[in-house]
Structure 1
């Protein structure tokens, strides 16, 4: 969900398909919308010259897109060794089962057991190794409870799914998503960016971010600002989520207000948990 127009470290306004880092290649699913921005980014990861690849978020159940991803891997002289899911929302995972069929039954790994196919699970701290490629699994709950990010240490890059977008900010998908967890996730990602020298965020939607630390700082400031606005609106008598959205999110496209209500509900839960409302 987008409720801000600017992020630091975003030099390219449009999403560009093709190589992004030495080990990542982006294809864009044809599902643009106010919620998905330009569409869902599907990522193909591989060590240069290797015969096997990892696919992250094959995208929605769109046959043409799934075939295009499978063909891109094949045309590069590779096969899909495994598919990884950042989380279970259908615009990221809806095509995973069909993609597995198209790629000879390749396994699908996810945190949520319901999304796994033919292989082991996936959890924070795991390292996925495929033909010389190393992908470190980072737990990033908050947007959803099953949200994961994937660190490519060789490229100083982080694939963030919907946790950090390439444009605007994301929703907290209440009741599964929780604001406290999301704030902890952002702080953890800020520490990761400093500790590892991240130079790129490869998001699930929108363009590449070339200032990861700046983008995460922006998210932290934005979330604090919205939380204060929600608290103020509640104290002023705006007690329901629709009332608070109309008051606080007046600068946001009204098409996004139903999604904004989810974030407001998550913020109200957080305020109640901390005795602030």
Structure 2
């Protein structure tokens, strides 16, 4: 009899969206890892005023911007920043939200009410608006943008983890552990937590796409990665604010295209993982 992991892997391979999402995600990850080696880049010394706003060509496949910078190089290096923000911010939300959700669902009572109020308070604000407020208070930087986006993600995982705990805590294997005298920590982290991981992993994968959009929005507003860092949202902002969108549309098209591809990649990967880990959802 095949193991559940092998069965899930086979189901994933049968998912067209999962395979496309995995291929795109791997391409983006490999690009982010190896582009500094294949094509080193220093954003502080890349200006070439003689080649300002040149259209796409063999020398500059994506054209150049208003400072003569090669958009192709900047977009490729921007993948590192966007993936870094997406993965780390989702990691913050996943760890903090899952821990709070586990505590709320397991201990119930006033603890659950307090954590529920926290989740409701965070959900009362639109996600991007809340991230903007946090960064505005803490100061614009890439690190603060990651923390802000992570905080926005927390209530999603609180609710998801809590709902899974409420379901799992009544299962026979948990009741057997209680009857054998297992401590709360052992029951929570050894018996209940593993059962919550499949939906949490799927949600985390989907959230990376959302985090990428929020990072681009903060970068567009000047609250994310600061110049001259090649961040996709900031690149679109430079084109928009400088009025180059009509005369040099490539300055906006290619950063926007990579944002779209990143979001699409992780959404498709999340769909494939959902089909693999929870066949009943299909």
Give the structure-2-normalised TM-score. Answer: 0.25
Q: Which has the higher contact order (CA 8 A, sep 6+)?
A: 2
The structure with the greater share of residues assigned to helix is 2
The structure with the greater share of residues assigned to strand is 1
Structure of greater Rg: 2
